[in-house]
């Protein structure tokens, strides 16, 4: 994780990495190229573990009020 990005990106990155741990993914070290890439990369370039960790992070960080039904 890097402090060179804005705080919301840091939060998402932390939640993403927590997702890897919670989902039982193997640990790995990210090379500088991965850390420097845009957070808006095409989904096809990710492997399934990355997609799962992104989904975990998104759900973790989404406020409950956004997810609750208004009916």
Ramachandran region, residue 63 (left: φ > 0; alpha: ψ -120 to 50; beta: rest): beta
DSSP 2: -
| Structural contact between residues 11 and 61, judged by C-beta atoms closer than 8 angstroms | yes
Angle, alpha carbons 45-20-25 (nearest 5°): 85
In order along its 71 residues, the chain shows pLDDT tens digits of: 678 888 998 999 999 999 999 999 988 776 666 656 655 666 556 688 888 999 999 999 999 888 776 65
Angle, alpha carbons 57-62-66 (nearest 5°): 155
Whole-model pTM: value is: 0.70
pLDDT at 30: 65
């Amino acid at each position: 994780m890097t402090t060179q990005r804005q705080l919301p990106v840091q939060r998402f990155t932390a939640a993403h990495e927590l997702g890897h741990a919670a989902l039982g993914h193997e640990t790995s070290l990210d090379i500088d190229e991965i850390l420097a890439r845009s957070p808006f990369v095409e989904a096809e370039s990710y492997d399934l573990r990355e997609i799962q960790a992104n989904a975990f992070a998104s759900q973790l960080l989404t406020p409950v009020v956004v997810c609750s039904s208004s009916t």
